[in-house]
Amino acid sequence: MSPLRADLEIVANWVGRGDRVLDLGCGDGRLLRYLFDRRQATGYGLEIDPDGITRSLANGINVIESDIDEGLSDFDTNAFDQVILTQTLQAVQRPDQLLWEMLRVGRTGIVTFPNFAYYRLRWHLAVKGRMPMSHALSYAWYETPNIHFCTIDDFEALCEQLSIHIIERRVLSHDYKSPRLARWMPNLFGEVALYRICRA
């Protein structure tokens, strides 16, 4: 199996042995496959993209074709140890409601998203006057599935408002490393933010 991307590696390390996991927007199912194999995790991936469904099936995970914008009503309260949302928060209709749902069905949540306040994106918008594109944000504004960009500060403010407790935060720069600059001023120098959260 090809190695996990560095951000997913961090996410995987947050999952405990034998955890029951729900991966929202599981893509090709690679993370879940890894968790099934290395962490003896069990659970399901939800995906809406037909190609993602096929690739997840090929990866041997349990994948359910489902639109997470319609909520997680298929799942009981506290049904999972971990509910994971990687690089998808910005693409959902109501991130606030989804976060709430995640922490209803899961004991803890793991959320990762591109930080829109990253200095390169600020530079792109400020100097070029155009919507930023980078390798983490690879879509032009007119075709992007991303409808709710947020910054690290925005996300933390929302958590506070929703009484969500942040257990741990990691901030990565564009090469998925964790440089001192990003730790010092995450909202400016962090390109990707990773959070472990739970109900306060």
Partner 1 sequence: MAAPAEETSVGVIVPQTVHFDEPLALDSGRVLPGYTLAYETYGTLNADASNAILVCHALSGNHHAAGYHHAGERKPGWWEACIGPGKPLDTNRFFVVCSNNLGGCHGSTGPTSIDPETGELYGADFPLVTVRDWVRSQARLADHLGVARWAAVAGGSLGGMQAMQWAIDQPERLRHAVVIAAAPRLSAQNIAFNEVARQAIRSDPDFQDGRYAATGDRPRTGLMLARMLGHITYLSEAAMGEKFGRERRDTRGGYHYNYDVEFEVESYLRYQGESFVDRFDANTYLLMTRALDYFDPAAATDGDLSVALSGVTAPFFVASFTSDWRFPPAASHEIVRALLDTDKRVSYAEIRANHGHDAFLMPVPRYREVFSTYMQRIAEEVGV
Residues in contact with partner 1 by CB under 8 A are 20, 42, 44, 50, 53-58, 60-66, 74-76
In angstroms, the Cα distances linking 89 to 76, 79, 123 are 21, 21, 23
Supply the minimum distance, in Å, between the C-beta of residue 99 and partner 1.
21
| Between 75 and 176, CB nearer to partner 1 | 75
Supply the minimum distance, in Å, between the C-beta of residue 33 and partner 1.
12
Give the CA dihedral 53, 191, 121, 90, nearest 10 degrees.
40
| Between 46 and 197, CB nearer to partner 1 | 46
Q: If you search the block for the tokens 């709430």, which residue do you land on? A: 100
Helices of type H across the chain:
6-13, 30-39, 50-58, 95-105, 119-123, 152-161, 180-184, 186-189
| Between 64 and 126, CB nearer to partner 1 | 64
CB 146 within 8 A of CB 132: no
| Count of CA atoms in the C-beta half-sphere (13 A) of 168 | 11
Supply the minimum distance, in Å, between the C-beta of residue 51 and partner 1.
9
| Between 37 and 76, CB nearer to partner 1 | 76
| Between 62 and 146, CB nearer to partner 1 | 62
Supply the minimum distance, in Å, between the C-beta of residue 173 and partner 1.
34
SS (H, E, C) 24-37: ECCCCCHHHHHHHH
Supply the minimum distance, in Å, between the C-beta of residue 89 and partner 1.
23
| Count of CA atoms in the C-beta half-sphere (13 A) of 183 | 5
